Structure 1
Amino acid sequence: MMIFRPIESSDYDALWHIAQHTGVGFSSLQPKPDMVRHKLDWALESFSGSTTLDDLLYLFVLEDAKTGNIAGVSGIESAIGQTDPWYNFKVNTQVHTSRELNVYNRLTTMTLCSDHTDYSELCTLFLLPEYRYSNNGRLLSKARMMFMANHPSHFHENVIAEMRGYCDDNGESPFWEAIGRHFFNVDFVTADQQIAKGKTFIAELMPRHPIYTNMLPDSAQAVIGETHNDTLPARKLLESEGFHYTHYIDIFDAGPLLEARVKDIRTVRDSREYKVQIHESTTTDETQWLLASTGFRQFRCILGQVSFEGFEFVNITREQANALQLQPNDTLRVVPLTGRRP
């Protein structure tokens, strides 16, 4: 059984191990000891409930209950852009016409903006390769949404997720080579590492005027709004939950930004709360359910099969109850992993 839970201080070694596998373009968790320690400390302070921070990081891990190994990590940032400015390119359409010359041109432009300041963000999703099977990836991503359903006051009404953009096998981004390199004088890998330290340098160096995409090389135009192959499953999952592309892209690799209203996310919208009844075994159908406790620091989420008694009670096994740290009559939030409502 895989258990999704808040990160703990003892998880530093596991987080460091994951950071060594994330690769180029995964700027939110890189193999730098100071960065990994900061990420962990920030999350622990956020979960403590005693912080005065406005921008909180809720970081979770997926634990293999059989071995105790950590299979992956994912997070939610409560409000982006409050400490470091948040930047994207907004992809717009400009029309240039001349009746005298009988010319009508529809051109695409990109403008640097901070339109998503204060939004919440789904971030730092990474599952180790050896655990990329069954529904582990879905659990690692969607369990965050169950946490948001439990604690909506901790988040903005809108949430975004940045998708990793295209780069080749050598870690080079054609979009970066066409734009960013001209203003930063460094390669994509170096810039990606720099952004992990802060984004102030973006405002200092990036152009504020619109950029016409037809003036870029074809290779750069082709990857605007495109998703890295390794991130395509994550994009499809989010789109199935109601996220959509709104013509904002990452300023480094042109990866798309997906957006949704929290209350419209399928997992949030369709989930229901029930009182728990615990049995040694229970008769169920084949439906896989996300099962989440309603705690904060003690939040737990697993996948499993259950049965219901009316609209008030859900029947779970003793093993499931132990994984979720629940007792009879405790509250359990339930939603199908995909599709229909309970």
Structure 2
Amino acid sequence: MLIVRPVRISDLPLIETMAVESGIGVTSLPNNREKLYEKIQTSLGAFEHEAIAGTGREYYMFVLEDEGRVIGTASISASAGFEEPFYSYRSETMVHASRALKVNNRIHVLTMCHDLTGMVQLCGFFCSPQYQLRAYELLSRARLLYMAAARERFGRRILVEMQGMLDENDQSPFWDAIGRRFFNMDFPQVEQAFAQRSKTFIAELMPTYPIYVPLLPDAAQNAIGQIHPDFERPFSILSREGFEADDYIDIFDGGAVLTAEVDQLFSLRQQGIYQVEVAPVLPAGAQEMLLSNHRSGQFAATQAHASLVDDVMFITQETARALSVSSGQRICTAPLLPEAGRAQA
């Protein structure tokens, strides 16, 4: 049975393996044992935090288990850029006009900014590619059910960065056109530096003036706001949740940055809190759905069949064990995501 739970120290070896498998695309999952251990320790402290509201420093790391084996990981940063600004490019239009020449041109420009600093950030997502979309959906959405259980810890707006387009040599056309000219570093090198060191080097070396997009090579222009094929599954899940591409792109590879209002996401709008009843056989009308134990501490989530009868949610004994709940306690439920292209009620 697939289960999402908070990370443990004992998960470190498998998290290291996933950091290697994820390549350079997941900068919040660095291939560095000390950094990963530090993230796990930070996560343990966040889950143990008893305050009514979070400080913004919290980092929550989850893992996906299949019969006790860790096969994926995903995280939440309560406040993007809490200690340092969260940099991105804002995509906007600049007007160049001359009344004398009767010329009025609207030019696409990119301006470095930290407008998104302080927003909740979904990050560190990786799931073994051999698993079906069901596992991806559970891992991605379980984080949102945790946010529903500890809503006071998180802000109003949320973002997630998508990896941009790379060529066959894992180089970024967008980076080659802009960043390389100021860093003199390959894209994999700067991604590694971004994952393991202070982000202040961005402000120190990147151009602060607007970048005129028409002056960039065609390959760089075509990469703006695009998503790497390896991220199509996570993107599909997030877009059906209600995330949309905003006027911001990643400062390194030009990949899309998705944003949303937390309380308008599908999982939070459609969630229900019910008293649970553990039954050997489910009543008629059971449906597959996302289920969590609705706890901020000792959190657990899974995807299973359950039946709602007179405001009581009936679950199987296997599901109860997965969620560590018993009859009379409460659980949180959310329906499966609508199929791609279907309207979200």
Q: Note the C-alpha offset of 1:54.
A: 3.4
Specify the alignment match of 1:303 in structure 2. Answer: 303
Specify the alignment match of 2:32 in structure 1. Answer: 32
57, 80, 94: which one pairs with 2:59? Answer: 57
CA 140–284 in structure 1, closer or farther in 2 if over 3 Å, else same: farther
Deviations, residues 59-83 of structure 1 (Å, cap 9, x unaligned): 0000112xx2101000110011121
Matched, 1:198 2:198: yes
**Distance in 2 (alpha carbons) for counterparts of 1:54 and 1:30:** 22
Contact 1:89 1:249 in 2 (8 A): yes
Specify the alignment match of 1:337 in structure 2. Answer: 336
Matched, 1:207 2:207: yes
Counterpart code for 2:318: E
Q: Note the C-alpha offset of 1:189.
A: 0.6
Matched, 1:127 2:137: no
Matched, 1:176 2:175: yes
Instruction: Name which of structure 1's ranges 48-57 and 146-155 shifts more when overlaid on structure 2.
Output: 48-57
Q: Note the C-alpha offset of 1:273.
A: 0.2
Contact 2:26 2:125 in 1 (8 A): no
Contact 1:122 1:159 in 2 (8 A): yes
**Distance in 1 (alpha carbons) for counterparts of 2:272 and 2:187:** 45
CA 79–284 in structure 1, closer or farther in 2 if over 3 Å, else same: farther
CA 255–273 in structure 1, closer or farther in 2 if over 3 Å, else same: same
Q: Secondary structure at the match of 1:20?
A: helix
Specify the alignment match of 2:267 in structure 1. Answer: 267
Q: Secondary structure at the match of 1:135?
A: helix
CA 203–118 in structure 1, closer or farther in 2 if over 3 Å, else same: same
Contact 2:286 2:306 in 1 (8 A): no
Deviations, residues 121-141 of structure 1 (Å, cap 9, x unaligned): 0111100123x2150000010
* Matches for 1:273-312 after TM superposition, within 5 Å: 273-285=273-285, 287-310=287-310, 312=311
**Distance in 1 (alpha carbons) for counterparts of 2:225 and 2:289:** 32
Counterpart code for 1:63: E
**Distance in 1 (alpha carbons) for counterparts of 2:50 and 2:283:** 43
Contact 1:270 1:341 in 2 (8 A): no
Q: Note the C-alpha offset of 1:266.
A: 0.6
Specify the alignment match of 1:47 in structure 2. Answer: 47
TM-score normalised over the length of structure 1:
0.95
Counterpart code for 2:332: R
CA 202–134 in structure 1, closer or farther in 2 if over 3 Å, else same: closer
Q: Note the C-alpha offset of 1:239.
A: 1.1
Specify the alignment match of 1:4 in structure 2. Answer: 4
Contact 1:284 1:305 in 2 (8 A): no
CA 189–306 in structure 1, closer or farther in 2 if over 3 Å, else same: same
Structure 1 stretches of 5 or more lacking a match?
A: none
* Identical columns (%): 36
**Distance in 2 (alpha carbons) for counterparts of 1:94 and 1:285:** 57
Specify the alignment match of 1:318 in structure 2. Answer: 317
Matched, 1:145 2:147: no
**Distance in 1 (alpha carbons) for counterparts of 2:150 and 2:223:** 37
**Distance in 1 (alpha carbons) for counterparts of 2:80 and 2:110:** 21
**Distance in 2 (alpha carbons) for counterparts of 1:186 and 1:221:** 20
Contact 1:284 1:306 in 2 (8 A): no
Contact 1:172 1:188 in 2 (8 A): yes
Instruction: Name which of structure 1's ranges 281-290 and 159-168 shifts more when overlaid on structure 2.
Output: 281-290
Contact 1:271 1:341 in 2 (8 A): no
Instruction: Name which of structure 1's ranges 162-171 and 218-227 shifts more when overlaid on structure 2.
Output: 162-171
TM-score normalised over the length of structure 2:
0.94
Q: Note the C-alpha offset of 1:102.
A: 2.5
Q: Note the C-alpha offset of 1:53.
A: 5.8
Q: Note the C-alpha offset of 1:286.
A: 6.6
**Distance in 2 (alpha carbons) for counterparts of 1:170 and 1:53:** 41
* Matches for 1:72-87 after TM superposition, within 5 Å: 72-87=72-87
**Distance in 1 (alpha carbons) for counterparts of 2:15 and 2:26:** 14
Specify the alignment match of 1:252 in structure 2. Answer: 252
CA 231–286 in structure 1, closer or farther in 2 if over 3 Å, else same: farther
Q: Secondary structure at the match of 2:116?
A: coil
CA 169–297 in structure 1, closer or farther in 2 if over 3 Å, else same: farther
Q: Note the C-alpha offset of 1:30.
A: 2.2
**Distance in 2 (alpha carbons) for counterparts of 1:134 and 1:261:** 24
Contact 1:54 1:79 in 2 (8 A): yes
**Distance in 1 (alpha carbons) for counterparts of 2:86 and 2:312:** 44
Deviations, residues 190-225 of structure 1 (Å, cap 9, x unaligned): 100000122110011111111100110010000000
Contact 2:144 2:268 in 1 (8 A): yes
Q: Note the C-alpha offset of 1:252.
A: 0.2
Deviations, residues 258-315 of structure 1 (Å, cap 9, x unaligned): 11111000101110100001101214547320001111221110001111112x2100
Q: Note the C-alpha offset of 1:85.
A: 1.8
Deviations, residues 241-272 of structure 1 (Å, cap 9, x unaligned): 11111110001000111111110001011101
